[in-house]
């Protein structure tokens, strides 16, 4: 069973290495994960319990029996449940500390601005595959913690403003969140946005109110690498919109060809013929940002978006390698503990794990042909 992995030498080394990043005992006290030590006395034992819960795919009763067999925790399944629920914020803080250590380029020198990654992933439980869940997360990259984790039905839309917008923060998300209404809501709340845009969505205008020629900007990006132009994000057919910047960078040739083939394949699937312009633009990464160019040059915008992708990759690893697909919790705190533990397990095993399944292409992170650091995983 995978619970055996939690106690093997390799995992013990990984857990020990956490001490170089975070003080487990102090952190557990700070986040109130270990207030009563009558059953679980050490933070490292509580961490093993959480890892065994996710990696071992155990029920609460089975986890209680496993802990007793190890000789370091004797408690009922209800006590185990309470321990796991109380550990959610602590586990998130540890995972966030590891993320900050590995990807520091976009969380430094932010001043009063807070970087927030907004994302969602599907979790398909056993049974009818049409009856899946969505796990929505808001990860505060500056405070180094999950601010919001919500498990909803499939009818709940992805929203850039999920969890409430706070003035001064920067909300980073993929193209599923690039809706004019959401961008306007974030701007109205005194925050900024950094989202990926599709080739034809949202509707963009130039500064005169005319439709933006995306293809011309893409071709300009092929020469200048990257292109950076002021735009307006329009709602519907309005001639006004939310002020923003469109930063465009070409993908590496192989990545661009895969993206273009994917655009053709998607068009065939949905029964239409992709235009030549749309296929050509699929070979570029387009980012919409409301951030000022003086303090946020294109290089910083690209680095910040790359950090959001690392969270996306963590979700991919969790789903394929550490069992996020087997999320059984409906209780929000227990679900949050499960997700944070899965993220932490993926980060701990990161040196040994592949970045995705062989041949997996959908929503692939673009590698960009630019003088700036490539946006590769």
Cα–Cα distance for residue pair 197/199, rounded to 1 Å? 7
pLDDT (tens, 9 = 90+) of the chain, 377 residues, equals 444 455 566 677 777 778 788 888 999 999 989 877 677 888 888 898 888 888 887 888 888 888 888 776 678 889 889 999 999 889 988 887 776 676 554 444 445 578 888 988 777 655 565 667 777 888 777 665 667 777 677 778 889 999 889 898 999 999 889 999 999 999 999 999 999 998 888 999 998 889 999 999 999 999 888 999 999 999 888 878 899 999 999 999 999 999 999 999 999 998 988 899 999 999 999 999 999 999 999 999 998 888 776 666 656 666 666 666 666 676 778 878 887 888 788 777 754 433 333 333 344 555 565 444 333 32
3-state secondary structure of 17: helix
Predicted TM-score of the model (pTM): 0.68
Question: CB within 8 A of 160, min separation 6: which ones?
Answer: 118, 171, 173, 177, 179, 182, 183, 185, 186, 193, 195
Q: Residue 245: left (phi > 0), alpha (psi -120 to 50), or beta?
A: beta
Q: In what order do the strands lie in the sheet with 133-140?
A: 145-153, 133-140, 114-123, 169-173, 192-196, 284-289, 241-250, 227-234, 204-205
Among 21, 20, 46, smallest CA distance to 32 is for: 46
Contacting residues for 37 by C-beta, under 8 A, at least 6 apart: none
Structural domains of the chain, ranges and CATH numbers in brackets: 3-95+329-348 (no CATH), 96-318 (3.90.350)
């Amino acid at each position: 069973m995978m619970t055996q992995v939690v106690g093997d030498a390799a995992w013990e080394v990984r857990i020990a290495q956490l001490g170089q990043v975070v003080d487990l005992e102090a952190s557990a006290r700070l986040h109130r994960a270990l207030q009563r030590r009558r059953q679980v006395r050490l933070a490292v034992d509580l961490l093993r319990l959480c890892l065994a819960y996710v990696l071992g795919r155990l029920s609460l009763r089975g986890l209680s029996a496993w802990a007793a067999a190890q000789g370091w925790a004797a408690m009922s399944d209800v006590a185990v449940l309470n321990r796991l629920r109380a550990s959610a914020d602590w586990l998130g803080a540890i995972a966030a500390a590891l993320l900050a250590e590995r990807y520091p380029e976009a969380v430094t020198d932010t001043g009063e601005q807070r970087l927030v990654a907004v994302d969602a992933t599907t979790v398909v439980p056993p049974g009818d595959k049409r009856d899946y869940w969505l796990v929505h997360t808001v990860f505060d990259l500056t405070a180094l913690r999950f601010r919001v984790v919500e498990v909803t039905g499939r009818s709940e839309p992805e929203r850039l403003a999920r969890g409430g917008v706070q003035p001064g923060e920067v909300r980073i998300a993929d193209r599923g969140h690039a809706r004019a209404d959401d961008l306007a809501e974030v701007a109205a709340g005194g925050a900024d946005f950094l989202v990926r845009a599709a080739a034809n969505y949202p509707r963009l205008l130039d500064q005169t109110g005319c439709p933006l020629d995306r293809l011309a900007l893409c071709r300009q990006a092929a020469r200048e690498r990257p292109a950076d132009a002021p735009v307006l994000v329009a709602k519907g057919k309005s001639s006004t919109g939310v002020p923003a910047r469109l930063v465009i960078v070409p993908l590496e040739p192989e990545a661009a060809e895969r993206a273009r083939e994917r655009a053709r394949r998607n068009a065939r699937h949905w029964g239409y013929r992709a235009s030549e312009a749309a296929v050509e633009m699929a070979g570029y990464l387009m980012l919409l940002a409301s951030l000022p160019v003086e303090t946020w040059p294109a290089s910083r915008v690209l680095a910040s978006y790359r950090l959001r992708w690392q969270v996306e990759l963590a979700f991919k690893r969790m789903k394929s390698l550490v069992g996020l697909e087997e999320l059984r919790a409906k209780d929000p705190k227990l679900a949050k503990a499960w997700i944070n533990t899965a993220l932490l397990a993926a980060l701990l095993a990161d040196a040994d794990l592949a970045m995705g399944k062989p041949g997996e292409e959908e929503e692939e992170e673009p590698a960009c042909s630019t003088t700036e650091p490539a946006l590769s995983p």
